[in-house]
Structure 1
Amino acid sequence: MPALDAVACTGPWRHRHPGEKAVLAFGLLCCAVAVPPWPGALVVGGTALALLLGPAGLGARRLLRAARGPLLFVVVGALPLLFSVGGPTLVRLDPGGVGAALALAGRATAALLCLLLFAATTPLADTLPRLARLGVPAAVVDVAGLVYRLLFLLLDRMAAVRAAQAGRLGFRSFRTTFRSVAGQAGAVFVSAFDRARRMEQGLALRGDPGSLRVQLPPQRLSRRFLAGTAVLLAAVVTLSLVPV
């Protein structure tokens, strides 16, 4: 199981109602999108970061491991704003693009932390059954659950292939590493295609009995948590609108 899913299933907020965590995380996400990037990005991002490292119990090492991939995309997306095309040279640095690049990076990082706040505290198994109650088609919920299960199977398959290649010294040089990675990609693709085909056959043999129903533990929305969330969001918006 990936580290983020393990934290979501064992964290301090595991038994809280998903609606409470959704109001908190997506409320902060709306603030990250709506308020001015400065100082809004710092306020929203700092709040989400404090919640992740504090009450959510994610830990700095796990947070860095979960965020480093998306942060790379943020950096790649912000870098083009530093350059402009045209003029005496084909591509040149644009001093006016520094502010836009920083604003984009700050807003995107704050939004990423808000999404991680929900993902690190709410297992997908608690979220999917409740989506059907909110009006999401049952077929969409079923497909999402099957894809989620398939991801775990593919990760196990990748780990097994990599261990087998390492046992045959497949990573001793650049050439063997390149060959092993290519072979791993091919093996995982074939395995994913085969498992998807078997899943399709299994769904067809079910005769379309309807959605996959699961029993959910009884949970109630905490008024105290929702009230605290409202106060926190109001404070975030107020601090974000303070002129700098």
Structure 2
Amino acid sequence: MTYILDDYAILSPLRFRNNWLKLAIVTFGVLAGVSSTSPFVPFTIALCMSFTTIYFGKVPAKFYFKILAVPAGFVFVSVVIIAFFFGEGANYFAFDVFGYILGVNSQGLNMALLILARTIGGMSCLFFLSLTTPMIELFAVLKKAKFPDSFVEIAMMMYRYIFVFLDVAMGIKYAQTVRLGYRDFKTSFRSTVMLGASLFIRSWEQGEKLYLSMNSRCYDGKLMVYDEKRPVKMPELLLTGAYFTIVLMVFYFTNGMSLI
């Protein structure tokens, strides 16, 4: 339950910067990375966002690259499949698998690298936002952006009770473990089923308690969210403008280029 994203976001110096500016930076990075036909733009965005998160956001580099490696590992499987099964042209290398030639060509490899770059660039933008902005402040931004109240409040409750039920699940699993509930496959399967059933019952009970407690406090369908005003300072505008300029220049000069 320690070392979750919100822990680093609360302690980050970038937490006290304007949330709308951070959203603009993230939105720009995601759109530029997806729109680019060259992997150079997403890689540039990933480099800038990673440097900002680690250097200015004071997020430990080891933790940052550890969480970035999770989506990168998933996309690596897709990249390998795309490199082998998509594209046309001369093969760089090939294998004969039961009479079927399985190889990697230039077009398929470039497509795979572009998807890998877009994924890393997009995840770097999202991690920049999640590691520098607590979720409660993002909910305040959504509320100020005129999102439906019911949507924002349900999201707030879901986020809150993820950790409540995670704590309950960890407690139940620990109790099962000390009673040798996971000593073999059959016992582990039975313990997992019991854990899921217990969590379902606990969530049902917690929902009833939440409903009663909110009604007893005269809940009228709206939850108040504190939104602190943080003006944008000139150094922040200059750094943001420099970042936008670098990305746009790379976008313009590398449009259509490939790594291979």
When the two structures are superposed, what TM-score results if normalisation uses the length of structure 1?
0.84
* 8 Å contact kept, 2:75–2:116: yes
Quick check: 1:9–1:123 contact (8 Å CA) kept in 2? yes
Equivalent-residue separation in structure 2 for 1:102 and 1:119 (angstroms): 26
Question: In structure 2, what residue type is equivalent to 1:151?
Answer: I
Give the aligned partner of residue 62 of structure 1.
Answer: 63
Does the 8 Å CA contact 2:33/2:118 hold for their aligned counterparts?
A: yes
Q: Indicate conservation of the 8 Å contact 1:4/1:119, yes or no.
A: yes
Does the 8 Å contact 1:84/1:91 carry over to 2?
no
**Aligned sequence identity (%):** 21
Q: Does 1:73 align with 2:70?
A: no
- Tell me if the contact between 1:78 and 1:104 (Cα under 8 Å) persists in the aligned partners: yes
For 1:165, give the aligned amino acid.
Q
**Cα distance per residue 1:56-78 (max 9 Å; x no partner):** 11112221343343233322433
Q: Which has the larger displacement, 117-126 or 203-212?
A: 203-212
RMSD across aligned positions (CA): 2.8
Q: Unpaired runs of 5+ in structure 2? A: 87-97
Structure 1 letter corresponding to 2:139: L
Are 2:152 and 1:141 equivalent residues in the alignment?
yes
Partner Cα distance (1:201, 1:73) in 2: 42
Q: Which amino acid aligns with 1:66?
A: I
Shift of 1:133: 1.7
Secondary structure in 2 matching 1:37 = coil
Work out whether residues 4 and 66 of structure 1, in 8 Å CA contact, stay in contact via their aligned partners in 2. Answer: no
**Which is worse superposed, 171-180 or 153-162?**
171-180
Whichever residue aligns with residue 8 of structure 1, its letter is A
Q: Distance in 1 between matches of 2:193 and 2:77?
A: 25
Q: Is the counterpart of residue 105 in structure 1 residue 106 in structure 2?
A: no
Contact 1:37 1:107 survives alignment (8 Å): no
Change over 3 Å in CA distance of 1:71–1:183 after alignment to 2: farther
Alignment match, 1:238: 249
Q: CA deviation at 1:10?
A: 1.1
Equivalences for 1:120-135 in 2 at 5 Å?
120-135=131-146
CA distance in structure 2 between the aligned counterparts of 1:80 and 1:143, rounded to whole angstroms: 38
* 2:231 is equivalent to residue 220 of structure 1: yes
Structure 1 unaligned segments of length 5 or more: list them.
none
Say if 2:25 and 2:240, in contact at 8 Å, map to a contact too.
Answer: yes
Residue 120 of structure 1: SS of its match in structure 2? helix
CA positional deviation for 1:206: 6.4
Relative distance call for 1:230 and 1:157 in structure 2 (3 A) is: same
Q: Bigger radius of gyration, 1 or 2?
A: 2
Once the two structures are TM-superposed, the CA of residue 143 in structure 1 deviates from its matched residue by 0.9
Give the direction of change, closer, same or farther, for the CA distance of 1:200–1:100 in structure 2 (3 Å limit): farther
Q: Would the alpha carbon gap of residues 101 and 182 (structure 1) be closer, same or farther in structure 2, given more than 3 Å must change?
A: farther
Equivalent in the alignment of 1:164: 175
Change in CA separation of 1:161 and 1:64 when aligned onto 2, cut-off 3 Å: farther
Distance 1:193 1:80, change over 3 A: farther
